[in-house]
């Protein structure tokens, strides 16, 4: 939280700092609520009880995977293209589909260059 506040104080326009702080506080609250909800559903899916830790390994793997994949996908979906323009989510999904289906099709497509 503190690095985010320092970043806002440095980068936000002088006349909009309060708005930036409020929006980031709202996003932080949203993330905390989503985290609690996700924990609730993961605890329902993986029943860990005293003396029975069979599913603990799977729960840890799923939690680490979500913690790695979700932020990476979010950054990938929200980044700008190489020429500074925003790509649509449909164009990004086409790019991802082409990457996994055929690398040479991706290399020669116009979507790769932007």
- Burial code (b: 16+ CB inside 10 Å, e: under 16) for 60-70 equals eeeeeeeeeee
16, pLDDT greater than 90: no
The tens digit of pLDDT for each residue in 52-103 reads: 899 999 999 999 999 999 888 888 777 776 777 777 777 777 877 777 776 5
At 106 the pLDDT is 47
Contact in structure between 48 and 42 (CB atoms under 8 Å): no
Please report, for the chain, the start and end positions of each structural domain, with discontinuous segments joined by +: 2-81, 82-114
Tell me the pTM: 0.57
pLDDT digits (tens, 9 = 90+) for 4-13: 778 778 888 8
Check whether 112 has a pLDDT greater than 60.
no
């Amino acid at each position: 939280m503190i690095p985010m506040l320092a970043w806002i104080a440095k980068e936000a326009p002088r006349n909009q700092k309060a708005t930036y702080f409020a929006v980031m506080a709202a996003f932080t609250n949203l993330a905390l609520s989503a985290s609690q909800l996700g924990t609730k559903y993961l605890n329902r899916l993986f029943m860990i009880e005293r003396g029975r830790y069979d599913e603990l390994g799977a729960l840890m793997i799923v939690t680490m995977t979500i913690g790695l994949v979700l932020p990476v996908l979010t950054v990938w979906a929200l980044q700008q293209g190489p020429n500074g323009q925003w790509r649509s989510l449909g164009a990004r999904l086409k790019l991802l589909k082409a990457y996994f289906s055929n690398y040479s099709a991706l290399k020669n497509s116009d979507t790769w260059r932007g």
